[in-house]
Amino acid sequence: MEWFDACVGSWLVTSRYEKVPALQPFSLYDFHLDPGIRSFNVCGYLLRLPDHPDLPEGQIPDRADLSLFFMDIMDLQLSGLPNRDGGTMQITKLDDASTRFIYESGTFHFSGVCDRAVIGGFGVLAKHDPSHPEPRGPRLFSHCNVWNSCLLLLREFGYSLQVTGHPAHGEFPSRLHWHATTDNGAELSANSPIELLGLASLHRYHQPNIDKPYWWRINGEPLLNDLLAQWQRRSTPSGSDNADPA
């Protein structure tokens, strides 16, 4: 079994790689222990860039960023001091209720057993293509390290915030629900603070006083279909629709 097969959310990497690389080396740059929900979270860089980086024009893929969350930890051991040289990471499914994880480098070691391992996020860090004619502007992609900023902005907008989830699962961050409410009765719910901020943008745009069907809709051209059609044209290899009739 590959390491990602032992994780919840494996599609985040299998959809980007033709062959997902092993976590050897896995260059660890951050880790965090949350005793409240017994979660141990680590972030690092994969050795190889994805086959499908999905970056906008003018950006060159630089590093593949992976976040792993080990939930409901039953055992955890740490020793040494981490560095950026990278180490070897192994994730193995022991049975339906336990997963073992081990990280080993020249200066740092951690290992443990948890209820489940979750791929919490995967992104491609990019650098500017100097040959691209347009000037470089600010960049941002969806990642859990943006969540707190989204929540602070929602609070500044006047929303009251709450998070809910089944205590028997506690699958932070993949199965919690994030809520924003207002004094006039508006209720917004999403699967992440980033999604919640998007819903709040629609609410602030329309400023509805009562609940009615499709109050959030913005009438206009079918932009969703147009963008998907553009992506499909870019993704189709040149000449593939001109197959040899012989």
pLDDT tens figures, 7-34: 999 999 999 999 999 999 999 988 889 8
Measured CA to CA, the distance from residue 114 to residue 65 in angstroms comes to 22
pLDDT at 168: 54
Instruction: Examine residue 140 and state whether it is found in any structural domain, yes or no.
Output: no
Per residue in 149-187, pLDDT (tens digit) is 999 999 999 999 999 876 655 555 456 889 999 998 999
209: CATH:
3.30.160
SS3 assignment, position 112: strand
The number of folded domains in the chain is 2
Same domain, 101 and 156: no
Q: Which domain, by its residues, includes 188?
A: 146-223
| Number of Cβ within a 10 Å radius of residue 30 | 11
Read off the pTM: 0.59
Which uninterrupted H or E stretch holds 231?
helix 223-235
Same domain, 116 and 186: no
Which uninterrupted H or E stretch holds 151?
helix 147-156
Measured CA to CA, the distance from residue 126 to residue 138 in angstroms comes to 11
Per residue in 130-141, pLDDT (tens digit) is 777 766 677 788
| Distance set, CA 186 to CA 113, 128, 150, 209 (Å) | 42, 41, 18, 8
Instruction: Examine residue 246 and state whether it is found in any structural domain, yes or no.
Output: no
